[in-house]
């Protein structure tokens, strides 16, 4: 499932493969992918003729800067962008198709139809991005950001790290990995973390996200980047998807519980319920 490192990899692939593409016409095969403020008809009318200037990223969102408009695109679970030749058959999972002037298509493909694309006129871009209400990127995260957010909530630390308004870009896989690296139990109340634990947490977030970006993200289930290539960070996962296997630090079996409505993996020995400085 695309989290920050996977979305960053998609962004880089699109900038390499799709910068300068011009839209000829548009097909929307599953209207729910296109979300307000633009309706589907408006979307189909506005896109022809537009040229893709570049693609940026904020948290898990892709930002497509077209000549006139901005797309804010979220891949959710399994969304991906592909650039096949227009003659290639369209499979049943391709829901938004831009026919391009160079004979290719830009296709949004999403088995589960969870992803969303929003279109805004460029003069509304800054406000639209601000309205996403995202916290700092991991690379910009300060200990004080977490300390102040955690101090005013009764939630457990796992739920807080999944909250995109506290830190942008983490999803279920990386939150489990980060908490393992920082030796923090996912059910700890966020406000109970010590200064030392917060410091380890910030360090773990930054280190793991930057390593995962360097490896092109994590491929579990069906994620591939815009080139259809796999990421390689799954080889470095320590706890996610490892229930019952030995902890790489202490060999205690990794446990799996349900927390914040997510499958949650942790080592019950390394990640204690009490403060661990």
Partner DNA sequence: GATATCGCCTGAAGGC
Partner DNA sequence: TGCCTTCAGGCGATAT
Distance CA 26, CA 101 (A): 12
Give the residue, chosen from 24, 76, 99, 232, that forms a contact with DNA under the rule CB under 7 A. Answer: 76
- Using alpha carbons, select from 173, 176, 191 the residue that is nearest to residue 275: 191
State in angstroms the smallest separation of the CB of 134 from DNA.
Answer: 9
Of 171, 186, 216, 217, the one binding DNA by CB under 7 A = 171
Give yes or no: 89 in active site.
no
Could you give the CA distance from residue 11 to residue 49 in angstroms, rounded to a whole number? 22
Catalytic residue among 11, 57, 60, 80: 60
Neighbours of 65 (CB within 10 A): 16
Stretch that binds DNA, among 21-29, 80-88, 159-167, 210-218 (CB under 7 A): 159-167
List 159, 161, 166, 184, residue binding DNA (CB under 7 A)? 159
At 14 the three-state DSSP class reads helix
The contact pattern for DNA, residues 236-275, with x = CB under 7 A and - = no contact, is --------------------x-x-xxxx------------
Q: Which of these, 254, 91, 113, 128, lies nearest to 179 by C-alpha position?
A: 254
Residue 60 interacting with DNA (CB under 7 A): yes
Which 8-state DSSP code applies to residue 230?
-
Q: Does the annotation place 112 within a ligand binding site?
A: yes
Q: Are 156 and 121 in contact (CB under 8 A)?
A: no
Does 87 participate in catalysis according to the annotation? no
Cα separation, 257 vs 186, in Å, equals 10
Catalytic residues: 2-3, 60, 262
Task: Using CB under 7 A, list all residues that contact DNA.
Answer: 1, 3, 32, 59-60, 74, 76-77, 111-114, 132, 152-155, 159, 162, 164, 171-173, 256, 258, 260-263
């Amino acid at each position: 499932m695309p989290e920050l490192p996977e979305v960053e990899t998609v962004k880089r692939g699109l900038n390499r493969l799709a910068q300068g593409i011009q839209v000829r016409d548009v097909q929307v095969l599953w209207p729910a992918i296109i979300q307000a403020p633009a309706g589907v008809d408006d979307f189909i009318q506005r896109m022809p003729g537009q040229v893709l200037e570049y693609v940026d990223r904020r948290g898990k969102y892709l930002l497509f800067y077209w000549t006139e408009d901005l797309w804010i695109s979220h891949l959710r679970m399994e969304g991906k962008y592909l650039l096949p030749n227009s003659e290639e058959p369209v499979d049943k999972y391709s829901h938004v198709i831009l026919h391009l002037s160079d004979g290719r298509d830009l296709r949004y493909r999403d088995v589960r139809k969870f992803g969303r694309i929003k279109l805004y006129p460029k003069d509304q871009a800054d406000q639209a991005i601000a309205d996403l209400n995202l916290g700092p990127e991991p690379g910009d995260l300060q200990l004080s950001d977490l300390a102040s957010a955690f101090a005013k909530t009764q939630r457990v630390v796992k739920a807080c790290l999944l909250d995109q308004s506290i830190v942008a870009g983490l999803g279920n896989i990386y939150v489990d990995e980060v908490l393992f690296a920082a030796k923090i139990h996912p059910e700890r109340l966020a406000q109970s973390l010590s200064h030392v634990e917060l410091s380890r947490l910030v360090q773990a977030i930054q280190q793991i996200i930057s390593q995962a970006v360097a490896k092109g993200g994590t491929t579990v289930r069906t994620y591939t980047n815009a080139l259809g290539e796999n990421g390689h960070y799954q080889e470095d996962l320590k706890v996610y998807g490892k229930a019952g296997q030995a902890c790489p630090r202490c060999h205690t079996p990794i446990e799996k519980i349900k927390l914040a409505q997510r499958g949650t993996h942790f080592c019950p020995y390394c990640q204690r319920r009490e403060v661990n400085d």
